[in-house]
Chain A
Amino acid sequence: MNPPPSILIADDTPENLTVLRDILTRAGYRVRPVLQGSLALKSAIADPPDLILLDIMMPGMDGYETCQALKAHEATADVPVLFISALDATEHKLRGFEMGALDYITKPFRSEEVLARARTHLALREAQKKLTAQNEELRQAAGLREDVDRILRHDLRGALANVIGYSELLTEALPANGSPAEYARVIAGAGYTMLSMVHSSFDLMKMERGVYDRKPEPFDIVTVARQVLSEFGLACGEKDLGHHLHLPDEIPTVIALGERLLTHSLFHNIVKNAIEASPRGGSLDFQFRTVGETVEVTLRNAGEVPEAIRDRFFDKFVTLGKPDGSGIGTYSAKLMAETQGGSIGLDSSEPGFTSIIVSLPLATPEQAAQLRLPSNRIPDISETSPPIELPTARLLIADDDPGNRAYLERVLPNPPLTLFFAATGTAALTALQEQALEAALIDLEMPELDGLDLVRTFRVWQRSWKKSSAGPVLIALSAHQDLETRERCLRAGFDRVLAKPIARKTLLSELKDALTQSAPVVHLDRDIADLIPAFLELQLDVIEQLENLVATEDSANLRSLAHRLQGSFAMYGLHAASRLSTDIEDAGKAADFVRAGSLIADLRTHVTTLEFRYN
């Protein structure tokens, strides 16, 4: 059983204290009487009571001050405070409420009133405590689930890296035309499919929370439907289902404005459902028509949705009576339609048939005209291209996973590369400092010192000991491929970021880019593309001013201007240029004009050779 609630009373009049103590003790409360505000504060902080009664007028620390101090202290901030005051003191009461008091007990005391108020506020406090505890529990449960999800996704990606990487190696090692090479290709393809599922589950979570970063582009929606149908060719064949695409006569295709991959998943979900719901020998019909500024896609199949769940068809975890259904397919289809500014609906009006109607925004004719190849497609591993020639270079591989190290050792040609390995962040740091390296592939998640801290430490070391940010090209290997991670890496001091798993071809061409120092590449948000030319022109002017300041040996202005450059470059996402500007600022501080001059020349070259890519 819980001990009875404790009540702290502060009043400088001993008679008042005695009366209150008697009333409350008789009612079964534990009472702590004190004669001063400061004592009340000490006692309350040392052992927070359930309720505090404060007299307003006390010598030394008065009731207001005590109340304010109680509210400011973490231990006592939530303990309800009631003031003790004379009946008519309205002014006092108002001020007391401002200080955080909840209520008043008026003098002279009437035991019914004192007890009623004490009971009410203790009960409120108890209810509030319970709610807080429940909230905390819920919050922890939700947090734990997200953590588990994240870890799962992360670990899954690591394992898939091996599935994809090694099956690609197999494909190359086997005779190109034989069945075994074909099997290996299927395995790699399955790996990529799983990977895209992992990615899309992450995206779904973001859509659900409304924080999905959407990038609408014009795309051919009919082709997407055709692709999805062809993926289900086998499943349709098993159930003897026919499938057809219907387009209005006058148009060859429909260009929608949205995300191709999202729409692919959306169609995938509804087609899968339709196949499962269809009786043998039925047919699936995709119909496209444009209505105003939207494209309406109808998928019709034989079979009826049970009446009981029609209203909840797109709700989370509602299954269609399928034993193995997760109830997430139609829900995620709805999320994906709505995220793209569209909608999805169910039409059961035709007896014996079910139609799902998806509406998505239509691209304007101008947007349709600039239709480009989708950039984020899953790579087609059957593509062949000329082998990539790498230059001679010393390369560090820092990764704590022996499987990853072995994979990288296997795919990276040696010679021309000389490979160094590190299994921990600290070992990698030593290698970066002691070996004359041209480049380093650094895993973000390593024991002791993770990739971000490693690179931050290394950059600081470079600045203080080498007096330069020139050195090996630092390439991050990240299990996450979102923009936030990329941004974090670049800010920490990485030059490039690669998302795992990396197709061998991508890895080699990235390395070649990095090692031949062919134009440094900067990835920026598309919305600032228009600003870049003017930005560069302006900063080149500033660089010219820097050159003049070096000529006139003006240390103060050199520092201040380089400082400004540092900030402006960082804001535009030109992190390497920002780092160089910091170096120039340091040289200016040290009045080392020779060094400043050569750094400014480096900065000019860097900025003029930059190549921009927009996300």
Chain B
Amino acid sequence: MPHKILLIDDDPSVTTLLRLKLQGHGAIVETSNAVRQAVGIAESFQPDLVVCDIDLGQEGDGGMVAHELAKKPTTASIPVIFLSSMVNPEDATQQSGGRKLISKKMPMTQIIGRILLELV
């Protein structure tokens, strides 16, 4: 069974790029560029993992999305990891509210590697 991943980022170019790379690894990928839409997609798509940008600009932030997902019984158990543009790629994976954080500044292979690792 291929893994299902939902990508949430207010920048469509980011979701497009990650979708392409993850599909290359056999994942089924849905994307969303808006917070409100994202929760609905998660409910119907039932992904194995949600990858969500921390800073969603005017759309809000990743923490809100995670909170919304946690409130709904149908999405509460889906793991969420965050993407961020943090300046320091050395702090790549820090804990943020008990969740994993992936820096956008890491090499793409590592970003994809870390996402796939969450699915193991």
Contact = CB atoms under 8 A, between A and B. Distances in A.
Mutual binders A and B:
yes
Interface of A: 484, 487-488, 491, 525, 527-528, 531, 534-535, 538-539, 560-561, 563-564, 566-568, 570-573, 578, 582
A539 B107 contact: no
27 contacts: A484-B107, A487-B107, A488-B107, A491-B89, A525-B108, A527-B21, A528-B17, A531-B17, A535-B16, A538-B12, A539-B13, A564-B10, A564-B11, A564-B55, A564-B85, A566-B85, A567-B84, A567-B85, A567-B105, A568-B13, A568-B14, A568-B85, A568-B104, A570-B104, A571-B14, A571-B17, A571-B108
B13 A534 contact: yes
A309 to B, nearest CB: 40
Contact of A560 (B57, B84, B89, B104): B57
Contacts of B73: none
B57 A568 contact: no
Interface in B86-120: 87, 89, 104-105, 107-108, 111
B20 interface: yes
A567 B104 contact: yes
A488 B55 CA distance: 26
B20 A571 contact: no
A491 B105 contact: yes
Interface in B5-55: 10-14, 16-18, 20-21, 24, 55
Contacts of B108: 525, 571, 573
B16 A534 contact: yes
A580 to B, nearest CB: 14
Contact of B13 (A487, A561, A566, A572): A572
Interface string B68-92: 0000000000000001110101000
A563 B55 CA distance: 9
A528 B104 CA distance: 16
Given A491-B105, A527-B20, A531-B16, 12 more contacts: A487-B107, A527-B21, A531-B13, A535-B13, A539-B13, A560-B57, A561-B57, A563-B85, A564-B55, A566-B85, A568-B11, A568-B13
- Contact size range, B: 20 to 34
| List of 8 A-B pairs having minimum Cβ-Cβ separation, nearest first | A567-B85, A567-B104, A535-B13, A570-B105, A568-B11, A571-B104, A487-B107, A538-B13
Contacts, number: 63
Nearest to B107: A487
**Which of B11, B13, B20 has the most C-beta atoms of chain A within 10 angstroms of its own C-beta?**
B13
A560 B61 CA distance: 12
B20 A564 contact: no
B13 A491 contact: no
A291 to B, nearest CB: 29
Contacts of B104: 567-568, 570-571
A488 B106 CA distance: 10
A564 B57 contact: yes
A161 B17 CA distance: 38
A525 B21 CA distance: 11
A58 to B, nearest CB: 33
Nearest to A563: B85
A133 B104 CA distance: 39
A531 B85 contact: no
Contacts of A487: 107
A487 B104 CA distance: 14
Contact of B87 (A484, A488, A491, A582): A582
Given A560-B55, A560-B57, A563-B55, A572 B17 contact: yes
A568 B17 CA distance: 10
B94 to A, nearest CB: 16
A263 to B, nearest CB: 25
A561 B55 CA distance: 10
A578 B106 CA distance: 13
Given A561-B57, A564-B11, A564-B57, A570 B85 contact: yes
A182 B17 CA distance: 51
A272 to B, nearest CB: 35
B59 to A, nearest CB: 11
A561 B89 CA distance: 19
Nearest to A570: B105
Contacts of B18: 571
Nearest to A537: B13
B70 to A, nearest CB: 25
A579 to B, nearest CB: 10
Nearest to B83: A567
B4 to A, nearest CB: 21
Nearest to A490: B107
A566 B11 CA distance: 12
B63 to A, nearest CB: 15
